[in-house]
Amino acid sequence: MQVIHFVFIFFLQIAVISDTAKNFVEIKPEEQKQKTETQEFQRIIIPELPDSLDFAGEKVPLDDADIRERLERELIGNCYKHSSTLIILKREGKWKARIQEILKEQGVPEDFFYLAVAESELDEYALSSARALGFWQFLAGTAKDFGMEVNDFVDQRKDPIAATYAACKYLKTAYEKYGKNWTLAAASYNRGMNGLQKAIESQKVDSYYDLYLNRETYRYVLRILSLKIIMENPARYGFQISDEQRWKPVPTKRVWIDSTVRDLPQLAKRLGVTYKTLKIHNPWLDSDEYNLVVPQGKGYWFEIPKKN
């Protein structure tokens, strides 16, 4: 009797499994068809290089196979680094006009905006492993050399406006050093003026595109160019973003503070904002103790959002 019961249970299980499998086979094609019809697949394509390209008015030799390959590599990397490139495009609406206005005012080509993008992705708090900081990734010593204040209370490397003026000083100095060549000035921003000059003298050439350099500088200008290509025509490279979707600068007014502040949150309250708002609009404030020591005879401009 037990054997008969066992055999019955065994064949019952097989029947259930067979019926389940039959249902699975019958349903699967229909489900698969529906999935194929409704699911959107990302198109993975090779982004096209433009027919011609320049940096700061200086022609890029796209007929050079090595340059084309290196530029294409950087273009592919930035086209498919979706989240980072989308955030850059969002931040562009907030910063491009202000940065390019300063560059133009200082006699530096507006294409150098894309150098700042390559350096920091327009993040004023960007910090490298070498401790370079801000939009333009200045080291503390170099920042001081070009007129920025860096101490226990203030770090102007995090101030996009002050740092842009300092970057202009560097770039104009490099431009003159390299025989009025903006592309070499851009490369020196990564390699350093002395390091790039040594490479130029040793290799007996006077063009960035003819130099064999360390890996980072070898890619540097091409990375800048790839970002310029995408940001000047994002839709062509798969990025759908309208002007309304870009972040916008907040209208601000300036307040002059020329005495030591012992309580920055209290100052913020007096100015009609929170401490968070004060910090967001004045990222150069660098004290962990909520204070700002202002030497006698000195002062600072604070940016405060305008009230509607």
Q: Where in the chain are the domains?
A: 1-41, 54-245, 252-305
pLDDT the model gives residue 27? 45
pLDDT of residue 39: 57
What is the reported pLDDT for 29?
54
Topology of domain 54-245, CATH: Lysozyme (1.10.530)
| C-alpha to C-alpha distance for 125 and 106, rounded to whole angstroms | 24
Residue-level pLDDT, tens digit, the chain, 308 residues: 544 454 444 444 544 444 544 444 454 555 555 555 545 666 788 999 999 999 999 999 999 999 999 999 999 999 999 999 999 999 999 999 999 999 999 999 999 999 999 999 999 999 999 999 999 999 999 999 999 999 999 999 999 999 999 999 999 999 999 999 999 999 999 999 999 999 999 999 999 999 999 999 999 999 999 999 999 999 999 999 999 999 999 999 999 999 999 999 999 999 999 999 999 999 999 999 999 999 999 999 999 999 86
For residue 272, how many other CB atoms are within 10 A of its CB? 10
Q: What is the distance between the alpha carbons of residues 285 and 267, in angstroms, rounded to a whole number?
A: 13
Write out the two tokens for 78.
């930035």
CB 157 within 8 A of CB 133: yes
Burial class (CB in 10 A: 0-12, 13-18, 19+), 128: exposed
Instruction: Give the separation between CA 159 and CA 135, rounded to whole angstroms.
Output: 8
Cα–Cα distance list, 6 to 2, 16, 17, 19, 105 (Å): 6, 16, 17, 20, 92
What's this model's pTM, rounded to 2 decimal places? 0.85
User: In sequence order, what are the residues at sequence separation of 6 or more whose Cβ sits closer than 8 angstroms to the Cβ of residue 187?
Assistant: 196, 208, 211, 213, 217, 220, 221
